[in-house]
Structure formats: C-alpha cells, structure tokens
Amino acid sequence: MPSVVVDSLRKSYGGLKAVDGISFEVQEGEVFSLLGPNGAGKTTTIEILEGLRDKEGGKVSVLGMDPWKDGYELHRKMGIIPQGFRFFDYATPREAIRYYASLFDVKVDADKILKQVILEEAASINYNKLSGGQRQKLGLALSLVNNPQLVFLDEPTTGLDPQARRAVWDVIRELKEGNRTVLLTTHYLEEAQMLADRVAIMNHGRIISSGTMDEILEREGSGERLEVKASESLANFLKTETRLKVEYRDGIVSVLLEKPHDALITLTEIEESGIEWRSLRTRSDTLEDIFVRMVGESTKEAGEVV
Amino acid sequence: MISARRVIADLKVTSRGFLRSREGVFFSLVFPVILMLIFGAIFSGGSSGPVTAYVQNNDLSGGVPTQASAAFVQALNSTNAMRLVPVPASDNFTLYLRSHSSSDGIVIPAGFQTQFEAGKPLNISVYGNPASQTSAIVSGVTSEIVNAFNLKRAGGSDVIGIQSLSVAITGTKYIDFLIPGLIGFSILTAPMFALVNISSQYKRDKLFKQLSLTPLTRGEWLLSKVIWYIMITIASFILMTAVGVYAFGANVVLSPYLLPFLVIGPFLFVSLGMLVGTASNSPESAAVVGNLVTFPMMFLSGTFFPISIMPTWLQTIAHVFPLFYVVEGLNNVMTYNNIGPAMIDLLVIFAIAIVIFGLAVRLFKWRED
C-alpha cells in the first residue's frame, strides 16, 4: 500500500491557484522528491499532507489517514521537518531531543540520534549558537525521535553552504538505508538527482513530469547534442544550411543529433561556413537541461516573462 | 486531555530558556529589588517627619516679642508637628520664603497682643501652596492653635480632646505599602514582557507551527508558562519581602490568603501577554501594544503611590486595570489584614483572568486555515 496518495489535489489562495490538480503516490521504502522553483506549490502541497493546511478539492491520504482530521494521530507516526526549521534559542540539541522524546512519549538514546545525524560535537551548544548546517541536522534529528517509517522533509538544505548541504545529504542517505519512506521537496536539481528514487517536477501548481530520473530523461530529454563555442552567426548559418535543430544560448551553438550521421553533417557545415569557432564537444541532455527547459516552457505558457 | 508529562517537559525547556537568558532573570527578580531599594531609600525619612515652616513675629515691643505673641509661637512649637525657623521682623517675608525655596510660613502681625487683649479682630497670615501636603499641615496646625487661643480668651475650656491612633496593625510606613505594590509590579511585568515577546516571536518564526506537529497542545504550552511564572512570582515575593523587612524594617502580614494572589495574578498576565503576542502581526507591533497596555497600568494601579493622591478621573481609570485589584488585594492582606475585601479583589481578578484566558485560547491558532 502506498504511504502517500494524492489525487487531483487543489488549493487556491484568493485568485491564485497554488496547487492546481496534482496527483502522485509515494511507495513504501522509496525516496520521492517534489522538485520545482520557488512558488511552484511544493510547500503548500506538503503542508496539506502534514495536516497544517486544509485542501480545497481532491483527495489525500497519508499512511491511510486524512491529515487534516487525524493530524494528531498521524504526527505520532511520522517525522517532519517543516520549511525554515527553527527551535528555541537556549536549548541544546541533546535537550531538544529529550524534549521531543517526552512529548512523543518514547524512550530514545539522544546521543545515538545525534550520532545518526552527525551532530555529536554540538550536543551541548545552545541552538542560537549553531551553524545553519547544524540547525538543519537538529531538525532531522527531531524528525527521527519517534522512529518514524515515513519522513517529510520540506526544503531541508535551503540556505546552506555546499559543504553543509552535502553533510545533510549524507544523513538523508542514511535514512534511506533504514528503509524509511521519504518525501522531500526541493528546488535544487542536484539534490533530487542525488537522493530521490522518483521525482515529480512541479511548477505553477502543476506536475509537469514525473517518474524515475531515467524515465524523465528518456521521455523529455532530446538526446545527444553537439556544442560549439561560436557566434550566433554560426547558429544562423547552420539553421539555413541544414534541417538540423539548432539553438543558440550564451555563446554556445547547440545542435541536436537525431540521426547517426547528423554529427558528420554538422562538422562539415561548420568547416564550410568559415566562421570562427573555438571548442567542441558532445553531450547528452541532463536533468538540468530538461528542468530548465520545461520550467521555462511552463512559465511561458503561464504568460510570464522568461 | 492535558498530559502532565508533556507539561513538565515543556516546563523544563521554558525554565532553561528563562534562566539562560540574562534579561529574564534581571527583569523579573533583580529589577524589582532595585526599585524597592531606590524608592524605599527615597521615602524612608520623608513625609512622616516634621514640616519646616518659617515664622515671622512682627509684634515687637522694644525690639523683643510681646508676651502674647511669644506664647503663640511657643504653642505652635509645642505641637511638634513643625520645625519652626524664625525670620527677622525687618525682612521682607515673601522674599525670604522665596530665597529659601519654601512656600510655608506664618506671620504674626504687629499689634497682636494689643488687639488680642482688647478683643479686636486680627489675622494671622499663613503662607502656603494649596496643592502641597506640607502646607496643609502648616495651616491645619496654625488653625488649631488659633482656635485654642480664641477659646482660652473666651474663658472656655476643652471638653473634647483628640487622641491620635494608627489604623494599621503596627503602624504603617511607606515601605509597608511599597512591598505589595512592587510585588504587584513584578506580577505584571515579568509575564507580560516575556509572553508578548515569546508569543509574537514564535508566531513569526513559525515555532508554533512546528510545535503543532508534536503531541503538545496549546493548553499544555500555556499551562507550562503559567506554572513557570507562578514560580517566579513566588520567588520574587520571597526576595522582596526579605529585602523590605531586613533592609527597611517593614511590617507585613504573611498569611496563606496571599497564595491565591500569587497564583491567579501570574495566570492573568500570562494570558494577557499571550493574547497581545498572538493577536499582533509582528514582534515589533506586539511590543508597542504590550507597552501601551503595561506602562499605564504599572504606574496608575497603586504600585508606587496610593491612588488617592491622583485626581478623581484618573482614579476611575485605575479601577479598570486588573493590576489595581491585585495590588489592593495584596495590600488588604499584607498591610491591613483585611481578608474580606481582599477576597472580593481576588474574585474580580479571577473573573478577569478567565475572560482573558478564554480570549487568548480562541485567538491562539497553531494551524493556518
């Protein structure tokens, strides 16, 4: 049975459709990521699943329960780090874990949890003196106090420097080892790529693509490209002289290679053009290419200026 | 369902937060003691001592006061209510008063003895400031002596005498009144400033949202704050009573009837602080509203001085403040041992507390929609 089921979920604020009919499922034991830019509707979605906001339409079920009605019971069974996790200034991580343990009525070895999130060295430091990375780790620690099988992480590494981010990723990977189910929202592609089994790309309240990384790449990716550092005139030349799909962006002419000898044609034409070029390489679409393109497209659709 | 375990867990975190933040300890415990030391020292001599009054005797015969006028001055002196400072007859009295920064004086006119013995009307001049307490004493005492002289001359004798007694148990000094006032001050300020601050900050930092993801309920969170501030109030009470008694020799009645005040007082102001904190949009606006509520109450509720010295309209306003009833109740118990009216004060406070608590809980939302 899936841990989380979302069916045609809708939520508006005033005239704004924050969540505009999305559906997805999170299977037991997987790490699922909602990926999208700020304002995509990720936090609204996850907060509805946490029982912090009420939905307008559609159905949601978390561990078989209605989060809005059964929130109290649900919270005992899951761990949550909300967006912008904060804690009391004058509490240490060890005290915070023991506090949560008392609230949840569970017995925990605080030091063991601290070790799990690699926070032992800061166990007795007041929250207001912790670094950003340490604070996020504390949030993770607290979400594990009641040893939940399902964990929700809302933007767990936003605002952290790359080093801290990687440290938090290590901890999240550990969660995966423990066969926990994790729902993660993020606007960092790398994070989704590193951690998630399956991804749903969200923008403007809609899911524009979902599946495993490979599935998305295959479905949305446009295949291999030949990239040349040259001027726009080369791009225009190739566009008129060949029937290849050519793009120009930031000083790079990008040619889509659909058929095997497209590469040969391109190189020949570049030589023929006599236009100056510098470096040359081939590469495949990465998730980043896809993401940027899809988000850009869906933003264009919504009528915004890209 | 309120869980004692969760309340205690929150209480532990609250107490640590309070004790580790220096402002908390200073404001609730140290500051009221400092106020007591300052105010106690200022008023420890003061108003119960004799009033200084300048006397000019213009009724001289051969440069020396006449017998009748000297007797009058002697009579003024014997009341021991004033410290008389003689002014030479040749000086301009008003100028003399001004140059000595005083407004209280008595002038005996020339011809006092002659007029008095002849039964002709004469006037003793009394200088004073109508608003001043000292002037009231001077004019009062002078009238008394004047009447006594008139009576004597008329050949009458005193039938009714006056015996001065004190109403309070062992005689009240300002410090006896100051202790309940400052305890009231502490009961108001410690929870108010803390809760306005915490509630608005937690709201802004989404800490309440986070706590709503745990089994902790709003009622439990609030209860833990109430318990903590009751404990702080009791500690403050012990501290201030000790300072008042040992440093200033205050006389107070320590009765179990004090306990309800030390419990319901904090309960009221924790709720009020929380109400202001959660109803405001930001910690900054919460602080403004909190101060607007707290400061007038702090001064106008009989904490540092009795409300009887304020004009009537201000006294009416004082009766709107919950703190007024706290201070009055504490005074009734500690200074006058007057339990009946104290219990009425308690009832008023209790009713107000329930209303404010109800409002606070209704407005205190942990979830958004």
> Looking at chain A from residue 45 to 64, which residues have their Cβ under 8 Å from any Cβ of chain B?
47, 50-54
- Encoded amino acid at B38, one letter: I
Q: For A218-238, what is the mean pLDDT?
A: 84
Q: Is B179 found in the same domain as B31?
A: yes
Cβ-contact B222, B270 below 8 angstroms: yes
Report the pLDDT value the prediction gives residue A304, as an integer from 0 to 100: 42
> Looking at chain B from residue 185 to 214, which residues have their Cβ under 8 Å from any Cβ of chain A?
205-207, 209-210, 212-214
Q: For B339-362, what is the mean pLDDT?
A: 91
User: What is the chain B residue with the closest CA to A89?
Assistant: B17
Question: What string of DSSP letters covers A247-271?
Answer: EEETTEEEEEE-STTHHHHHHHHHH
* Angstrom distance (rounded) from CA B135 to CA B237: 37
> Looking at chain A from residue 89 to 118, which residues have their Cβ under 8 Å from any Cβ of chain B?
89-91, 95, 98-100, 102-105
Q: Is B128 found in the same domain as B10?
A: no
Q: Is B25 found in the same domain as B132?
A: no
Cβ-contact A65, A73 below 8 angstroms: yes
Contact residues for B156 (Cβ-Cβ < 8 A; gap 6+): none
* Angstrom distance (rounded) from CA B304 to CA B184: 10
User: Where among B131, B154, B177 does a domain terminate?
Assistant: B154
A–B interface: beta-carbon pairs under 8 A: 68
Report the pLDDT value the prediction gives residue B348, as an integer from 0 to 100: 95
Backbone phi and psi for residue A150, each to the nearest 5 degrees, phi listed first: -120, 130
Q: Burial code of B150-166, b = ≥16 C-beta within 10 A, e = fewer?
A: eeeeeeeeeeeeeeeee
Residue B194 inside a domain? The answer is yes
* Angstrom distance (rounded) from CA A143 to CA A151: 7
Report the pLDDT value the prediction gives residue B99, as an integer from 0 to 100: 86
Subunit contact A90:B16, Cβ cutoff 8 A: yes
Residue B159 inside a domain? The answer is no
Subunit contact A102:B209, Cβ cutoff 8 A: no
Report the pLDDT value the prediction gives residue B323, as an integer from 0 to 100: 95
Is B9 in CB contact (< 8 Å) with chain A?
yes
Q: Is B183 found in the same domain as B59?
A: no
| For residue A143, pLDDT beyond 80 | yes
Q: For A61-69, what is the mean pLDDT?
A: 94
Longest dimension (CA), chain B: 98
Report which of A158, A112, A152 is spatially closest to residue A135, judged by C-alpha positions.
A158
Residue B149 inside a domain? The answer is yes
Pick A84's closest partner by Cβ from B13, B206, B215. Answer: B206
A266 to chain B nearest CA, in Å?
Answer: 56
Chain position carrying tokens 């000094």: B173
Q: Is B144 found in the same domain as B178?
A: no
Which of the four pLDDT bands, split at 50, 70 and 90, describes residue B131? confident
Chain B residues lying within 8 Å of A80, measured CB to CB: 213
Is B20 in CB contact (< 8 Å) with chain A?
yes
- In chain B, the percentage of residues whose pLDDT exceeds 70 is 93
Q: Is B78 found in the same domain as B130?
A: yes
Subunit contact A52:B212, Cβ cutoff 8 A: yes
| For residue B164, pLDDT beyond 70 | no
Q: For B37-61, what is the mean pLDDT?
A: 79
- Domain extent at residue B73: 51-154
CATH number of the domain encompassing residue B109: 3.40.1710.10
The mean-pLDDT minimum among A34-43, A188-197, B123-132 falls in B123-132
Subunit contact B213:A82, Cβ cutoff 8 A: yes
> Looking at chain B from residue 223 to 242, which residues have their Cβ under 8 Å from any Cβ of chain A?
none
Q: For B67-71, what is the mean pLDDT?
A: 90
Subunit contact B210:A86, Cβ cutoff 8 A: yes
Report the pLDDT value the prediction gives residue B369, as an integer from 0 to 100: 54
Report the pLDDT value the prediction gives residue B305, as an integer from 0 to 100: 84
- Encoded amino acid at B287, one letter: A
Contact residues for A147 (Cβ-Cβ < 8 A; gap 6+): A106, A108
Q: For B221-232, what is the mean pLDDT?
A: 94
- Mean pLDDT, rounded, of chain B: 87
Chain A residues lying within 8 Å of B207, measured CB to CB: 86-88
Which of the four pLDDT bands, split at 50, 70 and 90, describes residue B169? very low
Cβ-contact B230, B262 below 8 angstroms: yes
* Angstrom distance (rounded) from CA B205 to CA A86: 7
Residue B163 inside a domain? The answer is no
| For residue A301, pLDDT beyond 80 | no
* Angstrom distance (rounded) from CA A34 to CA A43: 9
How many domains is chain B built from? 2
User: Where among B154, B179, B199 does a domain terminate?
Assistant: B154
Q: For A70-81, what is the mean pLDDT?
A: 90
Chain A residues lying within 8 Å of B214, measured CB to CB: 75, 100, 103-104
Which of the four pLDDT bands, split at 50, 70 and 90, describes residue B172? low
Question: What string of DSSP letters covers B139-196?
Answer: HHHHHHHHHHHHHHHTT-----------SSSS---HHHHHHHHHHHHHHHHHHHHHHH
Report the pLDDT value the prediction gives residue A217, as an integer from 0 to 100: 78
Residue B161 inside a domain? The answer is no
* Angstrom distance (rounded) from CA A62 to CA A220: 30
The mean-pLDDT minimum among A45-49, B42-46, B163-167, B340-344 falls in B163-167
Q: For B66-90, what is the mean pLDDT?
A: 87
Q: Is B91 found in the same domain as B12?
A: no
Q: Cα B24–B27–B30 angle (5° rounding)?
A: 110
Q: For B314-327, what is the mean pLDDT?
A: 92
Subunit contact B213:A80, Cβ cutoff 8 A: yes
User: Where among B103, B127, B154 does a domain terminate?
Assistant: B154
Residue B369 inside a domain? The answer is no
Residue B288 inside a domain? The answer is yes
Q: For A89-117, what is the mean pLDDT?
A: 94
Q: Greater confidence, A304 or B175?
A: B175
Q: What is the pTM of this model?
A: 0.75
Subunit contact B207:A86, Cβ cutoff 8 A: yes
Q: Is B176 found in the same domain as B148?
A: no
The mean-pLDDT minimum among A53-67, A111-125, A246-260, B65-79 falls in A246-260
Q: Is B181 found in the same domain as B286?
A: yes
Q: Is B129 found in the same domain as B22?
A: no
Distances (CA, A) of B160 to B141, B148, B181: 17, 12, 38
- Mean pLDDT, rounded, of chain A: 88
| For residue B170, pLDDT beyond 70 | no
Query: CA B358 from chain center: how many Å?
Result: 30
A173-204 per-position pLDDT tens digit: 888 777 899 999 998 888 988 899 999 999 89
Subunit contact A102:B210, Cβ cutoff 8 A: no
Report the pLDDT value the prediction gives residue B166, as an integer from 0 to 100: 53
Subunit contact B9:A82, Cβ cutoff 8 A: no
Q: Is B55 found in the same domain as B36?
A: no
Which two tokens mark B95? 């100028």
B254 to chain A nearest CA, in Å?
Answer: 36
Residue B80 inside a domain? The answer is yes
Report the pLDDT value the prediction gives residue B23, as an integer from 0 to 100: 81
Q: Is B350 found in the same domain as B248?
A: yes
| For residue A123, pLDDT beyond 90 | yes
Is B17 in CB contact (< 8 Å) with chain A?
yes
* Angstrom distance (rounded) from CA B142 to CA B75: 9
Which of the four pLDDT bands, split at 50, 70 and 90, describes residue B24? confident
User: What is the chain A residue with the closest CA to B203?
Assistant: A86
